[in-house]
Chain A
Amino acid sequence: MASFISAYLNKTTEAAPLAVFRVFFGLMMFLSIVRFWSNGWIDKLYIQPKLFFSYYGFEWVQPLGVSTYLLFFICGIAAIFVALGYRYKIAIIFFFLSFTYIELMDKTTYLNHYYFVSCISFLMIFLPANAYFSMDAYRDKSKAYQEIPRWTVDSIKLLIGLVYFYAGLAKLNSDWLFEAMPLKIWLPAQYDLPFLGSFMQQQWLHYAFSWGGAAYDLAIPFLLLYKPTRWAAFGLLVFFHIMTRILFPIGMFPYVMIVSALIFFDAGFHNKILKALSTLLRIKGLKTDIGAWNKTYRYKTNLPLVIVGIFFAFQLLFPWRYLGYRNELFWTEEGYRFSWRVMLMEKAGYAQFRIVDKKKGTSFLVDNTDFLSRFQEKQMSTQPDFILQYAQFLGNHFTAQGHQNVAVYVESYVALNGRLSQPYIDPKVNLLQQTDSFEHKNWILEFKDEIKGF
């Protein structure tokens, strides 16, 4: 076994696939930043709001006011540098840090694909993605290599495969498979699609999409790995992601996944891509290759390998932490995020906060729109950690305004996957006396139903 592992770690492969991945990933990230900026979302999501919902343990990560634009600028420039392979190591570190910082500023905007980008860019810090077809290799021939350790390319495949497979496992639950929820809610709303619109209202399609989606997620990593099915799998992947792009507001994610999946193809295919790119960009005769000829990149220490190993152990285990909580995962969302649970539920909520003077017994209700954007209010009203953080913000706010003996209570209702709304948070609990932690929040009321499965 040990010899098998060391034999594997010594295997090398052509550097072209990783180079292509680096170029496309950098470009996609640059476009994402441009799109985000031009939609006016920096201002709307990170400057306008009066408060920001922090991740537990990351309360120190806050938007930087107008300098938030600078942060996005740095992130965009770093993405370009990554694509060019120019001062790659520094660029990818800057990209990872700035992108992750942006992601951590407000969990209102939590998206699995942002987390995916953080994971990939973290991984890429330790990979020799600039060994080939890069400015670095062009500028310094001694840094150019034609071959790199095989595990570096495989690590990207593993992460992509893991994302799909875990997303597929998460779909194996009774709501998704037997109720076709939440697609039964989402798809009929797509009535205005040309041609497809009328089918979106038909039940067989909801079930077909549910089962098809689960089967796709579970199978696609293997279909991509197995050479005879690879092209068909890639076609299926393109079809799947284009469909999700049409049906759901998930931004750049489909395109990121499509170009990422190219990594599964052989080096020959990637060399063709690079040749085409060279022609397109008029790079003469692949000058970048000259120094690379027959050279193999070797790590000087084992540290990168160890870090990548720990990273994957974490990736494999972290999504299972929900098993440590007794209550329904979809209801409490304890252990829900960072687990590749994508498009799994439709939750709508309503939270009405009451500020009580404990001594006098007087109270008044809060108008959430005084403090939160519509998007923040929507996210806040269905997730307990948001509710707690907001309640504590309100407590501080009204205490600072001169109110005394403040207690904060909430009357809240949540509807999950088409069920009728139910009371969500215990209205008798003073939320100012609660603290956030990884422990079960016993002030979340019981979910009056059962969802079986992962």
Chain B
Amino acid sequence: MKHWKLWSLIIFGLLIVACSKDTGNETVPPPNISFDRGAMLVNWADNIIVPSYTSFKTEAESLNTAATIFANDPTETNLHSLRASWAASYISFQKVSMFEIGKAEEVRYRNRLNVYPSNTQKIQNFIATGTYDLALPSTIDAQGFPAIDYLINGLAGTDSEIVSFYSTNSNAQAYKTYLNTLTGTILLLTTTVLDDWNASFRDVFVANTSSSATGSVDKLTNAYIFYFEKSLRAGKVGIPAGVFSQQPLPQNVEALYKKDFSKQLLLTAVKASQDFFNGKYFNNNTTGESFSTYLDFLNSIKNGEDLSSLINAQFNAAEAQANELNNNFALQIETDNTKMLGTYDELQRNVILLKVDMLQALSINVDYVDADGD
């Protein structure tokens, strides 16, 4: 009778040994039964995020140069080339806006570059007094692309009148300074973010394969979905269409003063989101590991619905609906808001697929708290 303790220990020990031996023999699992998140992070960083920022930085440099040229020589020709640079860089920005993690999160990158509508009174006040600190959270509606939009498209009705603000206006120098500060700030912030990726963040990002709320997959997934829900769906479409207010707010469209540009920005953003979902290389049709391949792999385990196809189909539906819209969203809202609401609905359907179905499939943590499953 005295031996029961010994025996149970021996049996338990054998059990452990047997188990570990079992698992130990199977050294390399067959390739198709494992998904490499590390490879997905590498694809995201090296083939999408860093190239997108690099390209955008080039555009931001051109914008800054064009603004300097215009300031030195305020002519209508230079205004036109400044506008072209602004438009090209604004388009390019749509491809990096969703990656708000690391340095970008730290400097509140999206808020510094693209909060609209601009507060024109605040801008005029800053120009008049010459005292402002664009790093303050209270100034986000007086800077970035929307503020430049106001300065190059919205100061007056005709181009010659706009140019006069920078040439004959009594405070012309202050206008020039503010414009240059805005383009310079965009360039500076972008350089800061890109340099951080190149210096160390890329390696940190790729190495942090942890599946906690602080892991790279979880963080970027949360950032991506937050962007799609808040900035793309709500910001570009829902808020101006009046979904979140009692009346439509056409003055809240993106690129309000450029007028015929909001649709192109939206389509670019939708395309960029879908490309990221599919792991498509920047400016190249090659694809790598992505949400899409990850979902396909997970689905091979649980044999559920083909989520990646559903999400891609919904991206296409949203794009098709957005294509029906007028180039000028403010005009679209004032003439036929139902199409705008229709676009919102299609985007909303994808929010549900991304935020509910994809997040569940990927088992992403929204926050660090104890939880024992619902």
Contacts and interface: CB of A to CB of B under 8 A. Distances in A.
B370 A357 contact: no
Interface in B351-374: 351-353, 355-357, 359-374
A350 B362 CA distance: 16
Interface stretch (A246-254, A272-280, A425-433): A246-254
A201 B8 contact: no
B243 interface: yes
Nearest to A193: B211
A271 interface: no
Given A201-B35, A232-B8, A350-B355, A378 B366 contact: yes
B35 A344 contact: no
A216 B301 CA distance: 25
Contact of A345 (B23, B307, B364, B373): B373
Contact of A365 (B5, B8, B243): B243
A185 interface: yes
A443 B369 CA distance: 30
B304 interface: yes
Contacts of A421: 352-353, 356-357
Contacts of A202: 29, 33
Given A362-B246, A365-B244, A418 B302 contact: yes
Contacts of A203: 301
A109 B365 CA distance: 15
**Which bracket fits the contact residues of A?**
35 or more
B11 interface: yes
Contact of B23 (A39, A199, A349): A199
A253 B372 contact: yes
Contact of A41 (B215, B307, B369): B369
Given A185-B302, A232-B12, A357 B246 contact: yes
B373 A248 contact: yes
A278 B308 CA distance: 62
A227 interface: yes
B338 interface: no
A227 B362 CA distance: 44
**Which bracket fits the contact residues of B?**
35 or more
A113 interface: yes
Q: Which of A250, A365, A367 neighbours the largest number of chain B CB atoms within 10 Å of its CB?
A: A365
Given A188-B301, A232-B11, A236-B12, A349 B356 contact: yes
A415 interface: yes
A231 B9 contact: yes
A152 B370 CA distance: 31
A189 interface: yes
Interface in B240-276: 242-247
Contacts of B244: 364-367
B209 A250 contact: no
Interface string A354-394: 00010000111111000001110011001100000000000
Contacts of A230: 8
B211 A189 contact: yes
A393 B364 CA distance: 28
Contacts of B211: 189-192
Contacts of B5: 231
A29 interface: no
Interface in A174-206: 179, 181-182, 184-186, 188-192, 198-199, 201-203, 206
A446 to B, nearest CB: 18
Contacts of A198: 29, 34
Interface of B: 4-5, 8-9, 11-12, 16, 23, 29, 33-35, 37, 209-212, 215, 234, 238, 242-247, 298, 301-302, 304-305, 307, 310, 348, 351-353, 355-357, 359-374
Q: Which 8 A-B pairs have the closest CB atoms?
A: A189-B363, A232-B8, A348-B360, A251-B370, A343-B373, A235-B12, A421-B356, A420-B305
22 contacts: A109-B369, A109-B370, A186-B363, A189-B364, A191-B35, A201-B33, A201-B34, A231-B4, A231-B5, A235-B9, A239-B16, A249-B365, A342-B372, A346-B373, A348-B359, A352-B348, A357-B246, A362-B246, A364-B243, A364-B244, A413-B352, A415-B357
